[in-house]
Amino acid sequence: MPEHYFPIFVFALLAAAFPAVTLLIFKLLRPDSRGGGAKLEPYECGVPAEGDARGRYSVRFFIIAILFVVFDVEVMFLFPWAVKYSELGLYGLVTMFVFLGILVVGYIWLYKKGALEWV
């Protein structure tokens, strides 16, 4: 019975060894990357960097992200509903109005947060 598992063990060994061997080979083949100063600085199209890349995001960024998610979910569910509209009947119409009502609550929340007022 263990002889049936031998090909599986060989395959697992090859699968584990492949990334390690590949990384080792390319580490030996690549050019020496020693350098400092300008090589380690961030590149911004020839313009000196304005600040640290790990700056804090404004809350407005996350509110716009929520607006995108709400709009994306709306489109994702409205398209199949529009394709099958004639087959769904009154039940499909009522459920879509309930869904759109929930989304309107999300839009009202975003409006109160100021996400729809562009700077």
Please answer whether residues 110 and 66 qualify as being in contact, where contact means their C-beta atoms are separated by less than 8 angstroms: yes
Asked if pLDDT for residue 81 goes beyond 90, the answer is no
pLDDT given for residue 8 in this prediction: 93
The single-letter code of the amino acid at 61 is F
Give the model's confidence band at 77: pLDDT under 50 very low, under 70 low, under 90 confident, else very high: confident
pLDDT given for residue 4 in this prediction: 87
For residue 53, give Cα distances in angstroms to 39, 56, 82, 94.
Answer: 16, 9, 44, 48
Share of the chain above pLDDT 90, in %: 20
Distance CA 18, CA 24 (A): 10
pTM: 0.43
pLDDT given for residue 112 in this prediction: 86
Burial 23-55 (b: 16+ CB within 10 A, else e): eeeeeeeeeeeeeeeeeeeeeeeeeeeeeeeee
